[in-house]
Amino acid sequence: MADETIEAAATGETGRLSDEHAAIVKWTDQLLANHTLIDAEREDALAQLTINQLSDLVLTVGFYQLVCNFLNTFDVTTDGEGEMREGPPPHCGTMQMPARWSATCC
């Protein structure tokens, strides 16, 4: 992914993106904020994307939000962030949980 695309996703400034990429950032922002596209946004998206492409976009944004909700709820952090256990809890695969959570959280 190009640096300007990542920057646009982080800041909302889409001036350096193609019209298509700017529209995708806009629809993504709407899905994250409202969990849907209003009729006009959906019609605009379907004028530029196939139904399969729009479905992929909606599902990708939704799965990203689902993962974020899970990670935020259980205070899962990346390596080196916060106070972590030595290794993962016994039945949580490779996921590391903050020390204040019991091993039964998963």
One digit per residue, the tens of pLDDT, for the chain of length 106 reads 788 888 888 888 889 999 999 999 999 999 999 999 999 999 999 999 999 999 999 999 999 999 999 998 988 888 776 654 455 444 444 444 444 343 333 3
Per the structure, how many domains does the chain have? 2
C-alpha 52/C-alpha 19 separation (Å) is 19
| Residues 69, 94 share a domain | no
In a shared domain, residues 9 and 58 = yes
| pLDDT value at residue 38 | 97
Residues 51, 96: Cα–Cα separation, whole Å:
38
- For residues 46 and 14, membership in a common domain is answered with yes
d(CA 29, CA 88): 34
Q: Are residues 53 and 12 in the same domain?
A: yes
Same domain, 59 and 98: no
pTM, two decimals, is 0.69
Token reading at 25: 């950032």
d(CA 21, CA 94): 35
- Range(s) of the domain holding residue 93: 77-106
